[in-house]
Amino acid sequence: MCGIIGCVGRGDETLDVLVHGLAKLEYRGYDSAGVALANGGVSVCKRAGEIDDLRDELEGNSLSGKVGIGHTRWSTHGPPTDENAHPHQDCTGDVAVVHNGIIENYQEIRDELVAEGHEFKSDTDTEVVPHLIENALADGDSPEDAIRYVVERLDGSYAIAAVVAGHEAVFVARNDSPLVLGLGDDATYLASDVPAFRDHTDKVVYLDDGEFARLDADGWEVRNLAGERVEKAVDTVTWDAEETGKSGYDHFMLKEIHEQPRALRQCLRGRVDEMAGTVDIEDLGDLSPRRVQFVACGTSYHAAMYGAQLFQRAGVPAEVYLASEYATSPPPIGDSLVVGVTQSGETADTLSALREARARGARTLAVTNTVGSTAARECDHALYIRAGPEIGVAASKTFASQLGALNLLALGTTQTDGARDAIAALRDLPGQVQALLDENDARAVAEAYQDAGAYFFIGRGLQYPVALEGALKMKEITYKHAEGFAAGELKHGPLALVTQDTPVFAVVLGDGERARKTVGNVKEVEARDAPVVAVTDGQSDVERYADHVLEVPETHPRAGAVLANVQLQLVSYYTAKLLDRSIDKPRNLAKSVTVE
């Protein structure tokens, strides 16, 4: 939610660096954008809309300065207007602040500041920060001390960056919102996420909660709340800047769908011994969980549902919880390993759930894509899914990689019957996904049903989370009503909604009991004139009742779920394209949801 950036040391290029970086952070929010440059004084340019709107605004604006900050917003307090866009300033105009997070006690502080005579221009929680800094500076504090004083007053989450007139420096504070420094040869950067400055450097420093940084011509330094210097590790990012571009695809989402073979290969690389039929995951130690609780949100929750089934099938009790529910209504934990599945590693609900589990004494594991993320750093263990950067707000390749990693986790920590077959299927999976991407009928299905009133998705067992994920993708990027159901549940209510205008996507793999029962459910919707799209490996007779068939190769059910999901991703993508939707930046959403 919201992306912030800062840059020191790029001279006259500063503004371009900031705007380019904001474009890379747009997946975090795209309601408004703005920049502030310090050059003796402080000048600000900001506006409602996307980064291109900010670019237009900058054309008629002679902003200059060698030190700067920027922001792209996902609205929490106040609508997406010019006034509510960041940076926010104090009464004198000497201070400008960008903020990612939520200041929970802002109203109380604002009332106090208004009573003192401060004038507010926005509805945001953020605006209290520059006014508090203004007070501290007026009392004679240095900008560093001012920021330390200010954050002591704040309850909530924040990644804050500020510029102050007369100081060629950026001042930074972090609590519960991501913030990373980028160390170039002659310049220093800060951002909510590495893609913002990856074009300029691969050397990064992840700030921790309660830390402050000063970036200036001499470089950078990090201090704690007591003002003491903190020695920080410098990490090297392992992915290239090109991975954050579209590489000729119309949308990031399509590119990322097509990156799934590579993402899966990366996920598996060096972790499976096919000859021995074993999995060896670095850094996990001897986990051998007696029971597992998964916590996650959205797409990651669907991956967690799949993961829980893998453990259950290996005889290990496993439960899956929506992180937002777990955080406020935690179940008994006992000796469970609590696994947070989170692509970003920054989802506030998931972090809360994991913290709740830790506070109750549980061991925790983050299954995440993001090295250095809060989840990875706070959990006892981290299993990286290695999907590479995902920019499209709708998760695609990270879901496939989450399923891959959860297979590794289950196979590596349990005695799973048939592990050798499962490992062989995982080995074949990237090639099968590639073949399916090369040739499929998803576009034709999208064309046939682009005008449908609603879409339903059904599946059983490992295909149930795929049905839920298919529906989530469809609603996120097409804005159409879409629901996923356990196939057996349709007749308990949702069947009332099924008409000739509601295509039903049925994921039917294999020809076992689950498949046979789902075919029965397909007959029920067919009898109500609903068009049926079967996603199938051809082993059952579901094709007899289907209007369209999306084929997947015959394989292990674990791998089949990934393949079926690719078909559904493509249908959603092409439907959204036909409807001319904002596929990479769907309305009202942001990729990394850092508020509860």
- For the annotated catalytic residues, the residue numbers are 2, 591
Which residues are bridge partners to 101 per DSSP?
158
- Measured from the CB atom, the residue of 134 and 356 that comes closer to ligand AGP is 356
Task: Please name which of 325, 4, 30 lies closest in space to residue 171, comparing C-alpha atoms.
Answer: 4
- Measured from the CB atom, the residue of 84 and 343 that comes closer to ligand AGP is 343
- Min CB(196)–ligand AGP separation in Å: 17
- Min CB(593)–ligand AGP separation in Å: 5
- Min CB(74)–ligand AGP separation in Å: 12
Report the residue number whose CB is nearest to ligand AGP: 298
- Min CB(424)–ligand AGP separation in Å: 28
- Min CB(271)–ligand AGP separation in Å: 21
- Measured from the CB atom, the residue of 393 and 442 that comes closer to ligand AGP is 393
Helix (H) or strand (E) holding 258: helix 252-258
DSSP 358-414: HHTT-EEEEEES-TT-HHHHHSSEEEE-------SSS--HHHHHHHHHHHHHHHHHS
- Compute the distance between CA of residue 397 and CA of residue 540 in angstroms, rounded to an integer: 28
The two tokens of residue 227 are 């003002």
Give the residue carrying structure tokens 């919102």: 177
Amino acid at site 452: A
Residue 2 burial by Cβ neighbours in a 10 Å radius (0-12, 13-18, 19+): buried
Task: Please name which of 369, 295, 287 lies closest in space to residue 327, comparing C-alpha atoms.
Answer: 295
- Measured from the CB atom, the residue of 300 and 540 that comes closer to ligand AGP is 300
- Compute the distance between CA of residue 364 and CA of residue 380 in angstroms, rounded to an integer: 5
321, 293 Cβ separation under 8 angstroms: yes
Interacting residues toward ligand AGP by CB under 6 A: 297-300, 342-344, 347, 350, 393-395, 476, 591-593
Residue count (the chain): 596
The two tokens of residue 367 are 């299954």
- Measured from the CB atom, the residue of 28 and 71 that comes closer to ligand AGP is 28
- Measured from the CB atom, the residue of 304 and 546 that comes closer to ligand AGP is 304
- Measured from the CB atom, the residue of 201 and 324 that comes closer to ligand AGP is 324
Task: Please name which of 393, 383, 399 lies closest in space to residue 264, comparing C-alpha atoms.
Answer: 399
575, 449 Cβ separation under 8 angstroms: yes
- Min CB(335)–ligand AGP separation in Å: 25
Helix (H) or strand (E) holding 278: strand 278-279
- Compute the distance between CA of residue 5 and CA of residue 18 in angstroms, rounded to an integer: 7
Distances (CA, A) of 154 to 118, 160, 315: 18, 11, 47
Amino acid at site 416: T
- Min CB(331)–ligand AGP separation in Å: 20
